[in-house]
A and B are shown apart, each in its own frame.
Chain A
Amino acid sequence: MYQKNLYDYLSDAVRTAPDKLAFADERTGYTYAQLYDRAEAIGSYLFERFGALNRPIAVAVERSADTLAAFFGVLASGNYYLPIDPHMPVRRMEHILAQVRPLCLITPDGTDLPDTTALCPTVLFSQAVEHTTDSAALCAQRAQVLDIDPAYIIFTSGSTGVPKGIVVCHRSVIDFTEWMSETFGFGGDDIFGNQAPFYFDLSVKDIYQTVKHAATCHIFPHRFFLFPKLLLEFAEKEGITAFIWATSAFHLVANSGALERVAPASLGKVILGGEALQAKQLNRWRRALPQVEYVNLYGPTEVTVDCTYYKIEREFADCESIPIGKVCENKQVLLLNEDLQSVPQGSIGEICVRGIGLALGYFGDREKTDAAFVQNPANTAYRDLIYRTGDLGKINERGEICFCARKDNQVKHMGYRIELAEIETVLSAVPGVDQIACIFDREKDRIIACYSGQAEESALSRAAAELLPKYMNPNVRCHMEQLPRTSNGKLDRNALWKISEHGTDC
């Protein structure tokens, strides 16, 4: 039977492999039967308390199997989940909750979360998971959910200083999951090693590949990525077969030197995404683990995880850039100029994407949705949307799509997508800051905040820590008498670079 709701994957898995380990973290491991029972209990609690359909429910995420039980519980109840990083600054969390107004926030027991009860009620995981199950009521609820209804909302950085909530429907995720399974040949014997936090859409690949195949996924603890040797030893011990990771984590492990000490022989596939893959780091992995199939994926959250892929089959010199390859099944990539006309073969154009994977839009923001999701200019006959990624790409002589640059000031840092303008907006509000501009040093992977005015550097650090997620905090703050301007008065980012690198003020 074809899938209509992401929850169907779990219902199928529990029938075929009830006693198989589904997800395990450091403390707990759930078989499919245990995961299903918990999801049904949580779903029943949500249904009885709210009786709602197609409404958002926030989940404070941890690196735990309980978080996944909560996600599936939300889906079981016919609603959609909004993952919340409990470590994000309080004001950002409040902003997101105020914008979405979820029915409730499911929180793990013992988490030290800020009090957000003024925005939505809090439900303890332990409270929901002990509820009596009413599977018939849940089935009736889900029967009313269409595959074009939302499955989750994931928030990313927004250029105006306000994070954007990207709403993705069941059909988009199912379509992507099926494509991924077929293209990379995953199966029930696979054992995944999860790196991506569950508030990051990269984790969608781990979650649904695992459940689709009734496979097993180990949720790696945070400290594994600080101490990669522990990670590789664990992967070897557990017979991990696939890593689906953020590229930055892959680079980090390559840099650590741990691969030269431990190379897990069970590993068969390493699938990367989130930012540009560096050939130098890839080559380190290939030297240590030549048997592994490496794949570079590309795509913003708005197109449901990814839209292009590149299986690495040839050699790359350390300084070469790795293509993002070819388009995923049931998606189309168009390279368009500013007037939304196709660029000539080999020329650079904005990467625009068509297909069922397109998100439903930005939650509660019609204006931003309409600016990013626009009518396909090649079709005037009926509604046919494309998503403008803001990324510039071209087709190389081998016919592979290559990422070139961003059109704007969005950067990828630590695997996260960041609008530098959002950091600028927050820091410009610090008393004593006259002018502010952020630049990104790709080589050293750091954000540099250049500012003028009387503000103390510590005031900028404090504001960043209070208002922005940790990965958006500038790594370097650079005071200048004046920010450089071009002759027509625009901020001169090239000059900013030179001053921030060599200026005595910094």
Chain B
Amino acid sequence: MEELIALLSEICPSIDFENETDLVDRERIDSFELVAIVSTLMDHYEIELDVEDLLPENFNSAEAIYRLIESRRG
């Protein structure tokens, strides 16, 4: 989780990934950052993310992103 937060913070330095939630609903992430997050996750964790995985609920918090990675790894 720590590693993920470090990766995400690099892409979106203004977001406090430890504490913030509702990142999509509160418009804290823009589309370009989301693209960067998705490609970083795919490269770093060597997972495949499909267009069906791209749903607001999977990106609303670091925890949700973590769960998404785990589900694709498993």
Residues of A within 8 A of B (CB): 87, 222-223, 225-230, 249, 252, 255-258, 260-261, 414, 445, 458, 461, 465, 470-471
Q: For residue B59, which residues in chain A have a CB less than 8 angstroms away from its CB?
A: 226
A222–B35 contact, CB under 8 A? no
A255–B31 contact, CB under 8 A? no
Give the distance in Å from the alpha carbon of A261 to the alpha carbon of B51 in the complex.
9
Q: Which residue of A lies closest to B26 (CB)?
A: A222
Give the distance in Å from the alpha carbon of A470 to the alpha carbon of B15 in the complex.
12
B24–A223 contact, CB under 8 A? yes
Give the distance in Å from the alpha carbon of A225 to the alpha carbon of B30 in the complex.
8
- Contact sample, A vs B, 13 pairs, CB 8 Å cutoff: A222-B27, A223-B27, A227-B54, A227-B55, A228-B51, A229-B54, A230-B56, A249-B31, A260-B51, A261-B51, A261-B52, A470-B14, A471-B30
In the assembled complex, B74 has its CB within 8 A of some CB on chain A: no
Q: For residue A258, which residues in chain B have a CB less than 8 angstroms away from its CB?
A: 51, 54
A226–B29 contact, CB under 8 A? yes
B32–A223 contact, CB under 8 A? no
Q: For residue A256, which residues in chain B have a CB less than 8 angstroms away from its CB?
A: 51, 54
Closest-CB distance, A217 to chain B (whole angstroms): 20
Q: For residue B29, which residues in chain A have a CB less than 8 angstroms away from its CB?
A: 226
B56–A226 contact, CB under 8 A? yes
Per a CB cutoff under 8 Å, which of A87, A226, A230, A465 touches B31? A226
Please classify the interface of chain B as helix (H, G, I), strand (E, B), loop, or mixed, using the class held by over half of its residues: loop
Q: For residue B50, which residues in chain A have a CB less than 8 angstroms away from its CB?
A: 257
A465–B56 contact, CB under 8 A? no
B30–A470 contact, CB under 8 A? yes
Closest-CB distance, B30 to chain A (whole angstroms): 6
Q: Interface size class for chain B?
A: 10 to 19
Closest-CB distance, B39 to chain A (whole angstroms): 10
Give the distance in Å from the alpha carbon of A222 to the alpha carbon of B34 in the complex.
12
Per a CB cutoff under 8 Å, which of A87, A229, A445, A465 touches B32? A445
Closest-CB distance, B37 to chain A (whole angstroms): 10
Write out, one digit per residue, whether chain B residues 9-20 have a CB within 8 A of any chain A CB (1) or not (0). 000011000000
Give the distance in Å from the alpha carbon of A158 to the alpha carbon of B25 in the complex.
31
Give the distance in Å from the alpha carbon of A225 to the alpha carbon of B14 in the complex.
20
Q: Which residue of A lies closest to B32 (CB)?
A: A414
Give the distance in Å from the alpha carbon of A414 to the alpha carbon of B29 in the complex.
14
Q: For residue B13, which residues in chain A have a CB less than 8 angstroms away from its CB?
A: 458, 461, 465
Give the distance in Å from the alpha carbon of A225 to the alpha carbon of B27 in the complex.
11
- The interface centre, meaning the residue of B25, B35, B50, B51 with most chain A CB atoms within 10 A of its CB, is B51
Which 3 residue pairs spanning A and B have beta carbons closest together?
A257-B51, A225-B31, A226-B34
Given contacts A226-B30, A470-B14, 6 further A-B contacts (CB under 8 A): A223-B24, A229-B51, A249-B31, A258-B54, A458-B13, A465-B14
Q: For residue B35, which residues in chain A have a CB less than 8 angstroms away from its CB?
A: 252, 255
Give the distance in Å from the alpha carbon of A282 to the alpha carbon of B58 in the complex.
29
- The interface centre, meaning the residue of B25, B56, B59 with most chain A CB atoms within 10 A of its CB, is B56
Q: For residue A471, which residues in chain B have a CB less than 8 angstroms away from its CB?
A: 30
Q: For residue A249, which residues in chain B have a CB less than 8 angstroms away from its CB?
A: 31
B56–A223 contact, CB under 8 A? yes
Write out, one digit per residue, whether chain B residues 22-50 have a CB within 8 A of any chain A CB (1) or not (0). 00110101111011000000000000001
Give the distance in Å from the alpha carbon of A228 to the alpha carbon of B35 in the complex.
11
Q: For residue B55, which residues in chain A have a CB less than 8 angstroms away from its CB?
A: 227, 230
Q: Which residue of B lies closest to A462 (CB)?
A: B13
Q: For residue B52, which residues in chain A have a CB less than 8 angstroms away from its CB?
A: 229, 261
- The interface centre, meaning the residue of B24, B54, B55 with most chain A CB atoms within 10 A of its CB, is B54
Closest-CB distance, A100 to chain B (whole angstroms): 25
Q: Which residue of A lies closest to B56 (CB)?
A: A223
Q: For residue B51, which residues in chain A have a CB less than 8 angstroms away from its CB?
A: 228-229, 256-258, 260-261
Q: Which residue of B lies closest to A258 (CB)?
A: B51
Q: Which residue of A lies closest to B13 (CB)?
A: A461
Give the distance in Å from the alpha carbon of A256 to the alpha carbon of B24 in the complex.
17
Q: For residue A458, which residues in chain B have a CB less than 8 angstroms away from its CB?
A: 13
Q: Which residue of B lies closest to A458 (CB)?
A: B13
- The interface centre, meaning the residue of A223, A225, A445, A461 with most chain B CB atoms within 10 A of its CB, is A223
Q: Which residue of B lies closest to A464 (CB)?
A: B13
B31–A252 contact, CB under 8 A? yes
A226–B24 contact, CB under 8 A? yes
Closest-CB distance, A415 to chain B (whole angstroms): 10
Q: Which residue of A lies closest to B37 (CB)?
A: A226
Give the distance in Å from the alpha carbon of A461 to the alpha carbon of B54 in the complex.
28
B56–A227 contact, CB under 8 A? yes
Q: Which residue of B lies closest to A260 (CB)?
A: B51
Q: For residue A257, which residues in chain B have a CB less than 8 angstroms away from its CB?
A: 50-51
Q: For residue A414, which residues in chain B have a CB less than 8 angstroms away from its CB?
A: 30, 32
Closest-CB distance, B11 to chain A (whole angstroms): 9
B14–A223 contact, CB under 8 A? no
Give the distance in Å from the alpha carbon of A225 to the alpha carbon of B56 in the complex.
11
Q: For residue A260, which residues in chain B have a CB less than 8 angstroms away from its CB?
A: 51
Closest-CB distance, B51 to chain A (whole angstroms): 4
Q: For residue A461, which residues in chain B have a CB less than 8 angstroms away from its CB?
A: 13
Closest-CB distance, A458 to chain B (whole angstroms): 8
Closest-CB distance, B48 to chain A (whole angstroms): 12
Q: For residue A255, which residues in chain B have a CB less than 8 angstroms away from its CB?
A: 35
Closest-CB distance, A479 to chain B (whole angstroms): 15
Q: Which residue of A lies closest to B27 (CB)?
A: A222
